[in-house]
C-alpha cells in the first residue's frame, strides 16, 4: 500500500481492498520501522486510528470526499487541537494547541487521517534539519546525510514511504530544498493562497504552507484541499482556487520556458546542471519552447532574505517569553531575569543568531542602512520576475546547488548553509509559486531537483508542467533502498 499514489489509495478504499483503519495501521507500522530517521516528533497513533474509523464510517455512508481515509503527516508548526505543537523547539516542548490551524482543519474536514507531527529545524530556521531540539533527521537515501530543511521531517517521512503525503512550510526554500534532496515533489504556492492561521510564524511576509508528495498529481490533490480564502488570516487572498487536479493533464506544447542566465552559471554541481539541462530537453521534446531571461538582482536574494527574515523573526518570536505558554525557567530573580533565562534556555543557537541579526537590522542606527534597503531590493527582485514573465510562461533551473551533504558538514559555516537556498528564496521574496520535482540522481545515487517558478497565482501551470514531465520520466518513482 505504501507504494501507491493517492489516486490508487482512493481506488483501493472504494473497492474495499482495505479499510482506512488497515491503511493507517500499515503506515503506523512503517513509521515504527523507520524510527531511526527521526522524522517524527510526535506519532498520534490513537488519534489516527479514531480518525480512520470515522473515515471508514463516512465511506460506508457514501459521505466521503477524494481524500477521506488517506493518512497524512503534518509539519510540527501547524497547530493541532489537543496535540503537542513544538516547532522543533524546547521553548514549546510542552505546548498543547487549543485549536487547529486552518490547513489542518480543512484536511481533517475532508477526512484525512493525521499520523503525527514531523521533525523540523527550530521555528523553520535552517536548511538541513540539524537545528531541531529533538535531534537531526536523516536522509533515507543516505542516512549519513541531511534531508534538507526546514521541512526535513516531512520530506524524510514521505521519501521513506512512512506517510503518503505531508504538509510543509516554505519561507526561503524549506519545501522545495528538502524535496530536491529527498527525491520528492514539493510545491510552495503563491503567497496568500494557503491560510497561515495556526501556522506558527517565522517571517510573516515570506511564510507559506504547501505540500511534499511523491508526484505532482498527488501534490495537486492536497493543495486543492488546503487552498482558499480564510477571514482569520489578513494576508489570505479572496480568489477562486483553480481545479489543480483537472489542470495537470493539458499538453504543454507551445509553452515557453524561461532560462535565467543567473541560474545556469557557475556555482552548481555539474551533475545537477546536467540533470536540469536534460529536463529542459525533455520539455522541448514535448513541444515546449525555451528563451533566455534575466533576473539581474537574484544573486542579491540571499543577503536580502537574511536581513528581512531575521527582522520579522525577532518580532514574531518575542511572544515566547515564558509568561503565557511554553517553557519557563525554574529559577529567576525578577520578571526581566525570567524573560532572559527562559529565552536563553528555550531557543537554540540558530534561532538566537537570527533574533540577534533581526534586532540589529531593526535598531534605530541601522534600520535605513539595512532593513529599508533590503525592502527596496525585494521590490527590484519582484520586478525582475515580472519582466521575465513577459517572455515566458514559467521559469526553470536547479532547485539546489548540490545534492544532500553529510550531517555536520556545514554546521560551523552559516553562510555556506544559507547558500543552499540561493535558487529558491527569490520566489518567496516575490511571493511567486514554485515547485521542485525529481530530475535525476548524481554519481553517488543522490536525488537532484528541477525547480519551476510560475506567475503569481498560477500554480496550475507549474503543476501541469511538473506532471507532464513526470509522465515521461520515472525519477519520482524511485524509492530509497531499504524502504521499498
Residue 404 DSSP class? P
* Contacting residues for 34 by C-beta, under 8 A, at least 6 apart: 140, 157, 160, 162, 483
Structure confidence by residue, pLDDT tens digits, 204-239: 999 999 999 999 999 999 999 999 999 999 999 999
Q: How many residues does the chain have?
A: 484
pLDDT for 85 equals 98
Of residues 191 and 264, which shows the higher confidence score?
191
To 10 degrees, the CA torsion angle through 12, 18, 24, 28?
-110
Q: Which of 150, 227, 298, 426 does the annotation list as catalytic?
A: 150
* Helical ranges in 85-125 per DSSP H: 102-109
**Region 197-208: what's the mean pLDDT?**
97
pLDDT for 414 equals 86
Is the pLDDT at 467 greater than 80, yes or no?
yes
Q: What angle do CA 291, 404, 267 make, to 5 degrees?
A: 45
Taking the C-alpha atoms of residue 228 and residue 110, their distance in angstroms, rounded to an integer, is: 14
pLDDT for 267 equals 78
Q: Which of 396, 440, 409, 427 is nearest to 270 (CA)?
A: 440
pLDDT for 110 equals 97
Taking the C-alpha atoms of residue 205 and residue 109, their distance in angstroms, rounded to an integer, is: 27
| Percent of the chain clearing pLDDT 90 (strictly above) | 96
pLDDT for 219 equals 98
The answer to whether the CB of 188 falls within 8 A of the CB of 434 is yes
Is the pLDDT at 421 greater than 90, yes or no?
yes
Taking the C-alpha atoms of residue 283 and residue 285, their distance in angstroms, rounded to an integer, is: 5
CA distances from 307 to 83, 105, 295, 357, 401 (A): 33, 33, 20, 7, 22
**Region 156-168: what's the mean pLDDT?**
98
| Percent of the chain clearing pLDDT 70 (strictly above) | 100
Taking the C-alpha atoms of residue 139 and residue 407, their distance in angstroms, rounded to an integer, is: 9
- Quick check: is 150 catalytic? yes
pLDDT for 281 equals 98
CA distances from 470 to 130, 178, 286 (A): 31, 18, 12
pLDDT for 365 equals 87
- Quick check: is 314 catalytic? no
pLDDT for 112 equals 98
* Contacting residues for 215 by C-beta, under 8 A, at least 6 apart: 5, 185, 467, 470, 476
Taking the C-alpha atoms of residue 214 and residue 212, their distance in angstroms, rounded to an integer, is: 7
The answer to whether the CB of 113 falls within 8 A of the CB of 48 is yes
Structure confidence by residue, pLDDT tens digits, 368-402: 999 999 999 999 999 999 999 999 999 999 999 99
Q: Which of 127, 174, 195, 426 does the annotation list as catalytic?
A: 174
The answer to whether the CB of 244 falls within 8 A of the CB of 220 is yes
pTM for this one? 0.96
pLDDT for 275 equals 97
**Confidence label for 415 from pLDDT (cuts 50, 70 and 90):** confident
Structure confidence by residue, pLDDT tens digits, 231-267: 999 999 999 999 999 999 999 999 999 999 999 977 7
Collapsing DSSP to helix, strand or coil, 179 comes out as helix
**Confidence label for 416 from pLDDT (cuts 50, 70 and 90):** confident
Q: Which of 19, 64, 75, 236 does the annotation list as catalytic?
A: 75
- Quick check: is 436 catalytic? no
Domains and CATH numbers, the chain: 6-256+390-477 (3.90.1300.10)
The answer to whether the CB of 330 falls within 8 A of the CB of 115 is no
Grid-cell match 537590522, residue found: 361
Taking the C-alpha atoms of residue 214 and residue 436, their distance in angstroms, rounded to an integer, is: 11
The answer to whether the CB of 476 falls within 8 A of the CB of 183 is yes
Q: H/E element holding 161?
A: none
Tell me the average pLDDT of the chain. Answer: 97
Amino acid at each position: 500500500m505504501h507504494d501507491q499514489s493517492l489516486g490508487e489509495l482512493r481506488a483501493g478504499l472504494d473497492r474495499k481492498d482495505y479499510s482506512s483503519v488497515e491503511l493507517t495501521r500499515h503506515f503506523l507500522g512503517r513509521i515504527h520501522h523507520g524510527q531511526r530517521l527521526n522524522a517524527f516528533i510526535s506519532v498520534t497513533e490513537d488519534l489516527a486510528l479514531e480518525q480512520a474509523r470515522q473515515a471508514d464510517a463516512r465511506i460506508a455512508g457514501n459521505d466521503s470526499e477524494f481524500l477521506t481515509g488517506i493518512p497524512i503527516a503534518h509539519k510540527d508548526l501547524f497547530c493541532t487541537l489537543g496535540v503537542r505543537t513544538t516547532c522543533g523547539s524546547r521553548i514549546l516542548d510542552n505546548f498543547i494547541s487549543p485549536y487547529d490551524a486552518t490547513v489542518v482543519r480543512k484536511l481533517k474536514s475532508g477526512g484525512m487521517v493525521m499520523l503525527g507531527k514531523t521533525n523540523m529545524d527550530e521555528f523553520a530556521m535552517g536548511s538541513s534539519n540539524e537545528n531541531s531540539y529533538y535531534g537531526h533527521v536523516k536522509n533515507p537515501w543516505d542516512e549519513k546525510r541531511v534531508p534538507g530543511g526546514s521541512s526535513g521531517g516531512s520530506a524524510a517521512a514521505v521519501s521513506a514511504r512512512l506517510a503518503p503525503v505531508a504538509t510543509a512550510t516554505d519561507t526561503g526554500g524549506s519545501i522545495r530544498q528538502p524535496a530536491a534532496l529527498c527525491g520528492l515533489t514539493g510545491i510552495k504556492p503563491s503567497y496568500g493562497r494557503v491560510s497561515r492561521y495556526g501556522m506558527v510564524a517565522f517571517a510573516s511576509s515570506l511564510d507559506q504552507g504547501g505540500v511534499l508528495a511523491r508526484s505532482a498529481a498527488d501534490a495537486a490533490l492536497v493543495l486543492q484541499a488546503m487552498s482558499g480564502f480564510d477571514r482569520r488570516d489578513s494576508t489570505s487572498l479572496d480568489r477562486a482556487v483553480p481545479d489543480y487536479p483537472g489542470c495537470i493533464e493539458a499538453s504543454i506544447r507551445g509553452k515557453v520556458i524561461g532560462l535565467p542566465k543567473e541560474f545556469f552559471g557557475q556555482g552548481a554541481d555539474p551533475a545537477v546542471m546536467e540533470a536540469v539541462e536534460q529536463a529542459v530537453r525533455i520539455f522541448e521534446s514535448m513541444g515546449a519552447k525555451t528563451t533566455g531571461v534575466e533576473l539581474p538582482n537574484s544573486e542579491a536574494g540571499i543577503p536580502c532574505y537574511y536581513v528581512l527574515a531575521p527582522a520579522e523573526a525577532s518580532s514574531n518570536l518575542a511572544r515566547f517569553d515564558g509568561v503565557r505558554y511554553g517553557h519557563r525557567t525554574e529559577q529567576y530573580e525578577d520578571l526581566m531575569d525570567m524573560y532572559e533565562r527562559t529565552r536563553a534556555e528555550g531557543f537554540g543557537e540558530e534561532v538566537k543568531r537570527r533574533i540577534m541579526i533581526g534586532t540589529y537590522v531593526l535598531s534605530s542606527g541601522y534600520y535605513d542602512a539595512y532593513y529599508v534597503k533590503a525592502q527596496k531590493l525585494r521590490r527590484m527582485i519582484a520586478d525582475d520576475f515580472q519582466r521575465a514573465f513577459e517572455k515566458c510562461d514559467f521559469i526553470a533551473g536547479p532547485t539546489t546547488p548540490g545534492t544532500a551533504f553529510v550531517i555536520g558538514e556545514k554546521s560551523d559555516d552559516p553562510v555556506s548553509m544559507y547558500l543552499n537556498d540561493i535558487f529558491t528564496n527569490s520566489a518567496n521574496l516575490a511571493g511567486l509559486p514554485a515547485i521542485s520535482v525529481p530530475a535525476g540522481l548524481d554519481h553517488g545515487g543522490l536525488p537532484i531537483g528541477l525547480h519551476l517558478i510560475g506567475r503569481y497565482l498560477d500554480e496550475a501551470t507549474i503543476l501541469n508542467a511538473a506532471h507532464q514531465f513526470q509522465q515521461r520520466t520515472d525519477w519520482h518513482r524511485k524509492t530509497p533502498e531499504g524502504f521499498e
